[in-house]
Structure 1
Amino acid sequence: MPQSKSKKKDSFRKRHPTLIRALVLGVIFTGALGFGILYASWALICRSGACPSIEVLDEYTPKQTSKLYAVDGRFIAELGLEKRTLVKLSEIPLTVQNAFVVTEDKRFYSHSGIDWRRVFGAAFKDVISMSFTEGFSTITMQLAGNVFPESIDRRERRGIGALTRKLKEAKVARAIEARYDKKKILELYLNQISLGNGAFGVETASQRYFGKSIRDVNISEA
């Protein structure tokens, strides 16, 4: 049986050499065209100031909540659209840091802003579904979208708008990685991220969900 199938394949190739060559050339052409479009998009995505300048991160401080107290010291209210209390990376338990890395971006410490293995896997699924909805954002790409919402609209979830957003995130992420070390990036991310119910950053989320500082969170809570 295997020999019979092999003979049939050889026979098909001999009888249709032009078709075989056309198919091969078609695959090569399609791949080259796709690569060309992607390269051109990458080169032009940040033209005319379409992408933000990452130098602002040198002095960047996420919005924090202002606490209002009475004259006698009694707490009255928190003011601000984003409830957030900043903490240094050294104050965040390593178990919490690792939990985010494993969940969001397990190759965070080995890539330069873009996880190409995830990119190619997501691209394959997107081509099959023609949706451009498969996620491949790294921690650094998420940071780019969170810090620069005016330039990188993360509400774009489908089609060309989503692809454009991803390209912007990726390009800005590469620039961030070239300028800052992993500790700085992770600290910014953990203070910037939205964790639901109006809680921004791990310290505020810890206070809201566990009733204590992130410094005191244990392994099971992380």
Structure 2
Amino acid sequence: MRHPTIAREKTARRSGRTSPGEGGPPVIGLLGGVAAGKTTVAEMLARLGAAVVSADRLGHAALARPGVRRRIVARWGKGVLDNSGRVDRRLLAARVFGCPGELAALEAITHPAILAGLGRAVGAARRAGAPAIVLDAPLLMETGLEAVCDVLVFVDCPRAARLARAAAERGWDRAELARREGCQRPLKAKRARAHYIIRNNGRVEATFQQVKELWQEILAR
């Protein structure tokens, strides 16, 4: 659904794209709260033909890199490793979320590898001729990735639904959801930056219909 207040041409965001290549595929950035369904929307866009770049998957890969693992152990100790010696994301999250200094330290260790991976994945999607590229990144604004996006889409979902999803899929309670969201930009700020809003608050079919309309409009730009 079209954001009712967005009818202007992009200026700073468009000029901030790092290396899109004029006439290249549009880059779509997804915004929204924790457990709002951004990955679901990304998967729907993939069904329509978009190439999806997942920062979460790249984050998993970054934690497996020996250099990243060494720096994490040096900072937080072996207590953040699982029985096989791999970094346990849940144990690590317990150490850093809710503590800005510790979270900043983790981001300084992992973000360079994640951002490099994003750049490679976007480049590969362009070379493969993807009609559009979707960035599914929880910290899109916080890491400055909105600057490489042509279109920003806010996935809107009621807090009660997000809490239920976070509890069912991740085992989080209300306090944990609040702790995670406290490390991100406010929802109001994300929504204000969006060109489009997808309301993910009902049937999957209804969400997919909105995504199809969004896809058609973006490709027609």
Normalised-by-shorter TM-score class: under 0.3
Identify the structure with the greater helix proportion. Answer: 1
Which has the higher relative contact order, 1 or 2, with Cα contacts under 8 A spaced 6 or more apart?
Answer: 2
Identify the structure with the greater strand proportion. Answer: 2
Larger C-alpha radius of gyration, 1 or 2? 1
TM-score in terms of structure 1 length: 0.24
TM-score in terms of structure 2 length: 0.24
